[in-house]
């Protein structure tokens, strides 16, 4: 089995991956070739903030294929059909056949976030039955609780959520932040994501943890503000989403932002201060190269 990576432009990436799958590739994924760089382009479907083109300018298309997969012929057919330039081949490497489900599960271990809070995948026993345990099955959604940015958000919620708080998890993925907020005492929690599968996975995870939580696609989000708005995305999308996020924070409410590298913190804070100086933001905590930014609306 081989993993093959090619560089495609915004017009052809999705169509190329579909045609290579039709030609016999076993799987195909698309990722931003400029992720975590100054050229990174956020994609988010918040009403009023839709991107003009729902594709990255440069994408890495990664496919898994059997050793006898004819890449040259398949690419030639796709390029001719799409009338596009032949994509650049970035590399090919051999991949051993394996039980990918078991390997993925082995990489996702129980994680202790704070003295009382654990994130535990559904296929593991509870390391501490007396702790607050968030049971999680990522499925196809983003967010396993293992990344420093998620740790930072969870730690902030654990330290700051009050029994009267209404919490919004913006870009909820698996729903991990909303579910944890409810388990540490929030009165009401909700989440939103552009991915319908993420919204479904978040709802399933909430049911598994026996918590009441509501998850929405952006167009279905009800109006209203929250005591706490938390968003664990990336720096550029956070800057783009500043008006939408600030619009969800009530007077006296808190805004918590993560997915931000330490070197990006000042520019993210400046983007929010420019829109609403009443929301006083600062770096709350750093883990590895990542920071959590938090503050309240005066």
User: pLDDT tens, 201-232?
Assistant: 999 999 999 999 999 999 999 999 999 999 99
Range 176-201 average pLDDT: 95
State the residue range of the domain holding 168.
107-295
Residue 47 pLDDT exceeds 60: no
C-alpha radius of gyration, the chain, whole number: 21
H-helix or E-strand spanning residue 239: helix 235-240
Last residue of a domain, one of 70, 96, 122: 96
Residue 141 pLDDT exceeds 50: no
DSSP class of residue 25 equals -
DSSP class of residue 203 equals H
Residue 48: its pLDDT value, please? 46
Output the known binding site for S-adenosyl-L-methionine: 150, 171, 193, 232
Confirm whether 84 is domain-assigned.
Answer: yes
Cβ density class 87-106: b for 16+ within 10 Å, e for less: beeeeeeeeeeeeeeeeeee
Confirm whether 140 is domain-assigned.
Answer: yes
pTM for the predicted model, two decimal places: 0.71
Residues 162 and 234 in one domain: yes
Mean pLDDT is lowest, of 41-50, 76-85, 191-200, for: 41-50
Mean pLDDT is lowest, of 38-42, 167-171, 195-199, 243-247, for: 38-42
Residues 81 and 142 in one domain: no
Residues 136 and 281 in one domain: yes
Residue 278 pLDDT exceeds 80: yes
Closest of 280, 292, 156 to residue 228, by C-alpha: 156
168 confidence band (pLDDT: 50, 70, 90): very high
What's the total number of domains in the chain?
A: 2
Beta-strand pair 111-112/27-32: unpaired
User: Could you report the per-residue pLDDT of 230-239, keeping only the tens digit for each?
Assistant: 999 989 899 9
Residues 61 and 151 in one domain: no
Residues 116 and 213 in one domain: yes
Residues 172 and 284 in one domain: yes
User: Could you report the per-residue pLDDT of 60-80, keeping only the tens digit for each?
Assistant: 999 888 888 998 999 899 888
Residues 119 and 66 in one domain: no
Output the known binding site: 150, 171, 193, 232
Residue 10 pLDDT exceeds 60: yes
Give the C-alpha separation, 127 to 111, whole Å.
9
Residues 126 and 274 in one domain: yes
Last residue of a domain, one of 75, 96, 117: 96
């Amino acid at each position: 089995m081989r993993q093959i990576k090619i560089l495609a432009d915004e017009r052809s990436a999705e169509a190329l991956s579909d045609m290579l799958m039709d030609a016999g590739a076993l799987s195909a994924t698309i990722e931003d070739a400029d992720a975590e760089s100054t050229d990174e382009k956020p994609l988010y479907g918040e009403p009023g903030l839709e991107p003009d083109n729902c594709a990255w300018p440069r994408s890495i298309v990664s496919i898994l294929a059997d050793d006898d997969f004819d890449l040259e012929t398949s690419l030639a057919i796709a390029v001719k059909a799409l009338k596009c330039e032949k994509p650049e081949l970035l590399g090919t490497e051999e991949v051993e056949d394996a039980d990918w489900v078991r390997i993925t599960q082995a990489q996702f271990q129980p994680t202790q976030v704070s003295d009382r809070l654990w994130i535990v995948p559904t296929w593991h026993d509870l390391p501490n039955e007396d702790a607050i345990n968030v049971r999680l099955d990522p499925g196809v959604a983003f967010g396993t609780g293992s990344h420093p940015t998620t740790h930072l958000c969870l730690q902030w919620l654990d330290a700051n959520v009050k029994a009267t708080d209404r919490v919004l998890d913006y870009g909820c993925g698996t729903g991990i932040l909303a579910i944890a907020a409810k388990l540490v005492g929030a009165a009401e929690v909700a989440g939103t994501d552009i991915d319908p599968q993420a919204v479904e996975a978040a709802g399933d995870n909430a049911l598994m943890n026996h918590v009441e939580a509501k998850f929405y696609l952006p167009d279905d989000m009800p109006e209203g503000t929250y005591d706490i708005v938390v968003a664990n995305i990336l720096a550029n999308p956070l800057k783009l989403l500043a008006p939408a996020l600030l619009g969800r924070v009530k007077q006296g409410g808190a805004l918590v932002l993560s997915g931000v590298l330490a070197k990006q913190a000042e520019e993210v804070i400046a983007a929010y201060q420019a829109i609403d100086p009443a929301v006083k933001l600062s770096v709350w905590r750093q883990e590895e190269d990542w920071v959590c930014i938090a503050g309240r609306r005066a």
